[in-house]
Amino acid sequence: MNEKRYADALLDESYREIRHPSGLTIRVLHKDGYKSSFALFATKYGSIDTRIAQPDGSFRAIPEGTAHFLEHKLFESEDLDAFARFAKTGANANAFTSFDMTAYLFSCADRFSENLEILLDFVQSPYFTEETVRKEQGIIGQEIRMYRDSADWEVEFNLLRALYHHHPVRIDIAGTEQTIAEISADLLYDCYRNFYDLHNMVLAVAGNATAEDVLAVADKVLKPAAGKPAVREFVPEPKAPAKTYIVEHMPVRMPSFALGYKEAIRTPERTVKESLCTSVLLDAVAGRSSELYRRLLESGLINTGFDSQYFYGFGYANCEFSGESADPERAAAEIRKAVAAVRQTGIAREDFERARRKLYGRLVMGFNDVESVAVDLVESYFAGADLFERARVCREMTLEDVNARLPHILEDDTAALSVILPADGKEA
């Protein structure tokens, strides 16, 4: 059993990373004085994984939405489903599928070992039948229709569909009613064997549980895996967006918009430094202390729900500005004008320092929340980093580092605008 220990003296935090004989990597950050624990068991398999690698190096297509569908089905068993088992222990359990991963989780104030045993057991015990798959198709079909009624959801996915030609990030995480109808029990087992190998997974625990507590359960429950991490396909993208404008009419009171700038990338993954420098830059340009934010708010072009983010994952990255606006196109035009000016001049030192300190403060505060810590343990592991790298990079970041990102992002010819307008009888 291989083990590494990581610590950050300035944060006064440390954690242990253990390579279990089963093939699973386990990360545990014990927090003295905390009453609760949070556990996350995750696989590097998300909605963007719409193809399975074959022995000859080729890839075979699988239906869109399969990762999300599989997440739902894993909670079931021949006897008692996982939610019912957790209800008996008093734990709060859940799961989620994102673009890049699927995770199963619980939080509890006591009976940690018992809850962890349930988590590891049901995720390793798939049970699918054609009858239960057909039933789930109806349930998830309703979920898909529900999300289509959400303007916030639609404006985001419409933007991704506008920005990307081929990359599966443009696909709804749950797929469509047509694609999930293609899912069978045999297909779910095939995807499970490919993506749920323990070498492709990580277990993260934060809170009052110790590494010894976790290992005692892992030794009891984990089944040795003979496989290896799943191969993820890199889908190259043209620099230009698929569309520059997309509009949909929905029953909303206030129009909303999402303006995105697609990043031209040659390698599938962004570094921690790239992602943090971009986040600092966006906050300096459009954060609540920025001149752009003040001007847009005072002119009534946005409300306090306006935000910006660097949205990235395996094979995709874009900078996004979004919110509600009575005049989305004018708001977007003002943002584009401000962005073009920043690309010429760079951001000012005082704006950089303000945004960097804000980000560092948020990173430090995150260590007070066991859920945030567990999620960060997983995400940093899948990114090939240790938990403290983001804090280190943020501390050492310079204005020159941030402005050096400008030639690579926020180019006007990579932009697309997604708009949701109130329904008025027009075709969407």
2-221 matches 245-422 in fold = yes
Q: What is the pLDDT of residue 78?
A: 81
What amino acid positions are annotated as catalytic residues?
71
CA 389 to CA 7: how far, in whole Å?
Answer: 11
- Look at residues 198, 214, 68 and name the one whose alpha carbon lies nearest to residue 124: 198
- Contact (Cβ atoms closer than 8 angstroms) between residue 380 and residue 387: yes
- Half-sphere exposure of residue 304: CA atoms within 13 angstroms, side-chain side: 0
Pick the CATH number of 2-221 from 2.170.190.11, 3.30.830.10, 3.40.50.300, 3.30.360.10: 3.30.830.10
How far apart (Å, rounded) are the C-alpha atoms in residues 169 and 221? 35
Q: Looking at residue 7, what is its pLDDT?
A: 98
The structure's pTM equals 0.94
**Whole-angstrom distance, CA of residue 358 vs CA of residue 266:** 30
Question: What is the helix (H) or strand (E) element at residue 377, kind and residue range?
Answer: helix 370-382
76-81 contacts, C-beta under 8 A, 24 or more apart: 76/127, 76/132, 77/122, 77/125, 77/127, 78/127
Q: Distances from the Cα of 305 to the Cαs of 25, 155, 252, in angstroms?
A: 39, 14, 15
Nearest to 375 by CA among 193, 136, 198, 204: 204
CB 334 within 8 A of CB 296: yes
CA nearest to 371, candidates 5, 40, 110, 87: 40
Distance CA(190)–CA(171), nearest Å, equals: 21
What was the pLDDT predicted at 67?
98
Give, in order, the Cα–Cα distances in Å from 385 to each of 17, 398, 412.
12, 21, 32
Of 175, 166, 168, nearest in space to 147 by CA: 175
Q: Which residues, in sequence order, are CB contacts of 341 under 8 Å at separation 6+?
A: none
The residues spanned by each domain of the chain are 2-221, 245-422
What is the torsional sign of CA 370, 376, 378, 380? Answer: negative
Q: HSE on the CB side for 153, CA within 13 Å?
A: 12
The CATH homologous superfamily for domain 245-422 is: Metalloenzyme, LuxS/M16 peptidase-like (3.30.830.10)
Radius of gyration of the chain (CA): 23
59: region left, alpha or beta (phi > 0 left; psi from -120 to 50 alpha): beta
With a cut of 70, which residues of the chain have pLDDT below it?
A: 425-428
- How far apart (Å, rounded) are the C-alpha atoms in residues 155 and 417? 9
